[in-house]
Structure 1
């Protein structure tokens, strides 16, 4: 059987604890020589109680003294006296489950699956926020066509390569005949995907002034992720 204790910093919580301890020396543990044995459950509940319960809670008060006595034997060092400020509930105190019955109670037990999952999610989120994002890259082959056979292709290429922006790297190029004495510029470029949009590159740079003095149109021949 398990049990949930809540609000042990309040009179109602201590009353519930006192009632539970009626006829008991400790919270749980197998009987040894007709006496209960101190367990981790006692330590967890003890930590949630702010101080020794008043005499109006005789069972809880007696239990608190027993646990204190055992802890004192385990830690024989001399105490100088410590006070804990604040009136709020202890952070370790767990709220009672809704509709929890006597047969389904959590005695400040070990970490639940939900708590473990929440801790893992927080850790993963922390790592994700501190890890430097690695952006992908793409290799693009582009055809750039002149207005006519009188277009100076050297100046066309110079105009194209003059376009500079973070994440853009121009590569090898060649002139390819398309007929009637007209040649097109076929050029490679590498882009950082998060920084450069090929559509924007064409619409906002290559087909507007000053490039459009030489460039009639641009076509994407191949687009491959690196």
Structure 2
């Protein structure tokens, strides 16, 4: 896991490919993950790696407030695509003998057949419930959420309901009313 050595062209290519469809290393806002990867770069990426350069310049604008960004900074190898081997130079690691001692006595390796069956049933139930969501495809990979509600006009007006829904600006672009049920 990880980007590899970000000082080499191969590491920068992995970073560039990773950022081709993402704005940040993790999530939808800049975080400590972005700062960790940013600090691993010793210079801005070349123009050949335009996704990485765009991301670098954007994170550079947060340099004065980088300690205020959310998240917890982890080692560089924890970030990036899953299928890339970490080729960053290994630091000296202290040998901890207590790593293999399980103080609470849990044996995760020996999972019973009954527990596996229950886990599979719950996953199947979750997938069935998830497939019944009201997402309707619009086009080009865009989906809209359709919901039904009955509005009691004396308590909540439809305008108030639309304002409340559109307050989630990061997730909602617009609200269309297909039908009304007023009580």
**TM-score range relative to shorter protein:** 0.3 to 0.5
TM-score normalised according to structure 2 size:
0.38
Q: Is the strand fraction higher in 1 or 2? A: 1
- So what's the TM-score if we normalise by structure 1? 0.31
Structure (1 or 2) with the greater helix fraction:
2
